[in-house]
Amino acid sequence: MRIDKYLANMNVGSRKEVHQLIKKGVVAVNGKTVKTPKEKINENDVVTVNGEEIAYQKYHYFLLNKPKGVLSATEDRSQKTVISLLDSQDQYLPVGRLDKDTTGLLLLTNDGQLNHELLAPNKHVAKVYRAQITGVADEETAKTFASGMTLGDGTKLKPAKLKILKQDKENDTSEIEIEISEGKYHQIKRMFGAVGMKVTALDRRSMGNLHLPADLKRGKYVELSLDEVKNIK
C-alpha cells in the first residue's frame, strides 16, 4: 500500500494533509524519512509521524451528524453520499440508513460484524428520534404507538415510546421524541401518517448506547475510541 493511502486510512489526515507532512520530512518508515507519497509499505513496516508510531488499525468507526440532502449510500452517480463526507475514502458502509431528508446520528464503519449486530432484527437496538409534526400529537397518539401498530398495508410494528415535547394547537403542529426498536422503511413517517399526521423534520439522536454529541455540527464526524466501540457492542 502507498504510504499516503495508509496514513489517510489511519486518519492521520486527508491525502493532501499527508502529502504536506511528507514534504516537511516528519514521516518515516523503519526509521528512514519518506521522500515521496508513492512509497510502498507492508504490514511489517514501522511507520511514524513526528516520531509517533502509527499502528495499523483494521476497523474504524465514525459517528456522523448527517446533514439533510445527503444519501445514506456508498456511491451515487448524481447525488452526494455520506461516504463523500469522510476524509478517508476507504471501504466504509453506513450502519442502517437515514432517508435523504433525515438528519442526525449515523454510524459508518468497515466492521461488517458490528453492522450485522446492530441491524439484526432480533437485536432490538433502540433508536431515538426527534421530529417536527404537522398535527397535534397527544396521549392517545402515545397509547396507539405503545400498543404496537399494524399499518394499512398489514405491516406489524413493535411498540414504540412517544414523548410529546411541545404542542401548538393554534398552528396544528407538535414537537416529539420517539423511540423505536426496529427500522422498517420510512417507519416513523408511516406511523404518523397512519394517525393523520405528517412528519416535516426528523433527526436521529441516539442508537443503542451511542448518542449524538451536542457540539458535533451537521456534516461533521468524529472517530470513536475503542472504549466507545466496546460500549456499542
Unique residue bearing C-alpha cell 401548538: 168
Annotation says 168 is catalytic:
no
Name the grid cell of 30.
523503519
- What sign does the CA torsion over 198, 204, 205, 210 have? positive
- E-strand ranges in the chain read 27-29, 32-33, 47-49, 52-53, 61-66, 93-94, 103-109, 127-134, 161-168, 173-180, 198-207, 210-211, 221-223
Q: List, in sequence order, the alpha helices (H) in 40-164.
A: 112-119, 139-146
Query: Active-site residue among 87, 90, 99, 227?
Result: 99
213 within 8 A of 222, measured Cβ to Cβ: yes
130 - beta bridge partners?
177, 203
Residues serving a catalytic function are 99
